[in-house]
Structure 1
Amino acid sequence: MCREPYPGRVTAPVFVLTPETVEPAGAAATAVAGDRLVLTGPEAHHAVAVRRLHPGERVDLVDGAGLRLVCEVTETAADGGRRERLAVRVVERVEEPQAGLQLVLVQALAKGGRDEQAVETATEVGADLVVPWMADRCVSVWRGVKAARGRQRWGAAAREAAKQARRARIPEVAELLTTAELAGWVRRVNDAGGLVLVLHEEATVPIGGVALPDTASSEAIDHPADEPRGGGKGPQDPVTIAVVVGPEGGISAAEVGALEQAGARTVRLGPHVLRTASAGPVALAVLAQRVGLWG
């Protein structure tokens, strides 16, 4: 299984478009080869004022949900007031279906931006969904307005990392879960045939030795962008493989027990103890290789 069905097209810079930042309004939804579009807003500012793109250069415009417009720059315009415009000609329209397998990072909140670093690297590795977790030993706490802002920061980290990785799909950042809510989510994933792995330094089973769900027949599927992801039971839902990463202080015995009772498997990542910022991305990389996503 390969997430990028068009090898050799990962060198052009990627910019994210929305219905509000493309002219004519909403034209990206039906754009085909030969159409001419204009990108506006912050992404156009980055393309024109920061990247300093010129006519004739190639760019990819993506919507974050699988649409990629392979384009050629035809004109740039800047007035110095952050109202830059990037005019392009569409060379090819590519719609990447959602893969039949989704990789999920369940990341405990961490201090010092380590959780955002985990989100960023996991996105570059190939995570499809990120779930924030308020574990017992989290030093960082999201409540009220802080929860909304924290989720926005993680979303921004995923967005920028997806652009860096030239991805057409930007991982969703889910609502913050408590341990009880996470256990319920684990149970739903398990009931749907997925797998949730809890990374723990005292586990005896290595991540490379745990049996994975059968993904051999998990072909890419068309999946509405607004359909719930993770733990679903519908015939079109992708198979979920998730890793759970604890905070700096580790996962408590009570939390491990609750997650295992819900159907999670506790595994050891390797011979060394990794930071909360790196454990999840490393585990996802191992799993991506095992299931053939990097093949």
Structure 2
Amino acid sequence: MLTLFFVDDLPRKVGSSYEFDSDDAQHAIRVLRMSAGETFMLSDGLGAWSKVKIYAVKKKSLEVEVIETGMQDPLEISFTVVQALPKGDRLKECIELLTEGGVDTIIPWSAQRSIGKAEKGIEKLQVTAREASKQSRRLFIPEVTDVANTSKVVELIAEHDLVLVFHESATSKVSEIITKKYSESAKVMIIIGPEGGITNEEHELFTSAGAKVALMGRPILRSAHAGLAAMSAVNALLKVW
């Protein structure tokens, strides 16, 4: 698959020339050693894409020609993951994994037992999502929202067709919950608790609002890794994969 870069001013006219002069262009020149005649992909991060061919390599930019354009439609199902704040750099790792797993919206959550903080700021986490999107060749960059409290998460539950809270005390497997009843869900939310688990109060608030509590399996995963595992299972059960 062709290398992908994101640009704000995506060229869309076949045959037109475009100067690719961002930091990514310098990476393409100095690290990837791209040369005249090679092709790669540009995208606006919203589904639109252009296949371009290099015809000139400059010191800090690439002159390219647009040879093909298109638009990728979003999936019929949108995925939101509410991720309790993990400690240290694990939040960045979590953003990377969730992006690779196909999440559309990532909501950092300040749970009662969260010991981490979004110390680097949401803007930097959005950059992480953008970089992970390039690596995974996805044309839609997920949104990383501001940190939400539990009350906000409860409000959002009502806006989704299926909401799953993964918890080790659950008695129902995720495969037992996602039945034909939810096969046409358009908006899915997954809630991942902190390393110490969600509290009884949070559990009650979420289930009272309509969330289903699901068991992921016997092994207990790190909070930062659980979201990708959950996304994998849900994608398979909803036949997205």
TM over 0.5: yes
| Superposition CA RMSD, Å | 1.5
**1:50 has 2:31 as partner:** yes
Aligned to 1:13: 3
**Cα distance in 1 between the residues matched to 2:73 and 2:193:** 32
- Name the counterpart of 2:144: 173
| 1:33 match: secondary structure | coil
- Whether contact under 8 Å (2:39, 2:51) holds in the other structure is yes
Report how many residues are paired: 239
- Deviation per CA, 1:119-175, whole angstroms, max 9, x where unpaired? 101111111111110100111235xxx5xx421232122111110111111001112
In the alignment, is the contact (CA less than 8 A) between 2:178 and 2:238 conserved in 1?
A: no
Structure 1's unaligned 5+ residue stretches are 1-10, 20-26, 79-83, 219-238
Q: 2:51·2:69 contact (CA, 8 Å) conserved in 1?
A: yes
- Rounded to whole Å, the distance in 1 between the matches of 2:148 and 2:99 is 20
**In terms of mean alpha carbon deviation, does 277-286 or 93-102 score higher?**
93-102
Matches within 5 A, 1:175-190: 175-189=146-160
- Matches of 2:173 and 2:234 in 1, distance apart? 12
Identify the residue that residue 225 of structure 1 maps to in structure 2.
Answer: none
After superposition, residues 81-120 of structure 1 pair within 5 angstroms as: 84-120=60-96
Where does the alignment leave 5 or more consecutive residues of structure 2 unmatched?
none
Q: One-letter code of the match for 1:201? A: E
What's the CA shift for 1:58? 1.5
Q: What's the secondary structure of 1:209's corresponding residue?
A: helix
Aligned partners of 1:293, 1:54: CA distance in 2, in Å?
Answer: 37
The answer to whether 1:159 aligns with 2:135 is no
Residues of 1 paired with 2:115 and 2:35: CA distance? 47
Residues 31-67 of structure 1 deviation map (CA, whole Å, 9 limit, x = unaligned): 2222221111212122112212111111100111111
Q: C-alpha distance in 2, partners of 1:33/1:290? A: 40
Question: Which residue type is aligned with residue 21 of structure 2?
Answer: T
The one-letter amino acid of 1:18's match is D
- CA–CA distance in 1 between the matches of 2:92 and 2:211? 24
Q: 1:134 aligns with which of 97, 105, 110?
A: 110
2:217 is the counterpart of 1:270: yes
Matching of residue 243 in structure 1 with residue 190 in structure 2: yes
> In the alignment, is the contact (CA less than 8 A) between 1:17 and 1:43 conserved in 2?
no
